[in-house]
Amino acid sequence: MNPEKIYPRSQDRETVYLKNVITDPNITAGDFTIYNDFVHDPRRFEKNNVLYHYPINRDRLIIGKFCSIACGAKFLFNSANHSLKSLSTYPFPIFFEEWGLDIGHVREAWDQKGDIVIGNDVWIGYEAVILAGVTIGDGAVIGARAVATKDVPPYTIVGGVPAREIRRRFPEDVTEKLLAVRWWDWPEEKIQQHIFDIQAGSLEGF
């Protein structure tokens, strides 16, 4: 096990450990989180998948450990949100030179929704979209091409446009135990010892 390398599999150049290809200080990913891209170079995740993410906003993308992010998943940040408080959705402050405006008002062109926070052990499906200000709970699943416009509780499967709850993955008592155990924070050796228990859905093995 080596979470510091870029490619988890020796013959696979479509899957990367995300934290090792990120350079933007406002984007973080936890150990063993993977991104797969069979269309583009997965090392260009910041450029191709994290959109409207400009330094002026200081908004962040925070991704936990052991997440699985499928090809084409997108994270849309605050600058995509043309202000609805204005009488016009046209982003006049961005074009301050054209309209003789003060550069200090650029951020008024869009509504501020906040950071995007992805928990641990989250699966984000093919071409899913996560909008600014959304938090995805630990163990959640975002269906293919779903658009997550609001927070998703832990261990919940959502799908559709906008994304709606399909079902909970486990009964409430099991979810509570998993959130308490936080297996993703265990030492690698302990995780390795319990991989079969995790795959089998066996809490007793913990």
- Which residues are catalytically annotated? 82
Question: Could you give the CA distance from residue 158 to residue 147 in angstroms, rounded to a whole number?
Answer: 9
Going by the DSSP 8-state scheme, the letter that residue 122 receives in this structure is -
Q: Give the integer Cα–Cα distance in Å for 51 and 59.
A: 12
What is the C-alpha end-to-end distance of the chain, expressed in Å? 21
Name the 3-class secondary structure at 198. Answer: helix
Q: Which long-range contacts (CB under 8 A, 24 or more apart) does 96-102 make?
A: none
Token pair for 191: 């995780």
Structure-block tokens of residue 21: 């290809």
The one-letter code for the residue type at 43 is R
Report how far residue 36's alpha carbon sits from residue 17's, in angstroms, rounded to the nearest whole number.
Answer: 9
Place of tokens 């927070």: 151
- Single-letter amino acid, residue 53: H
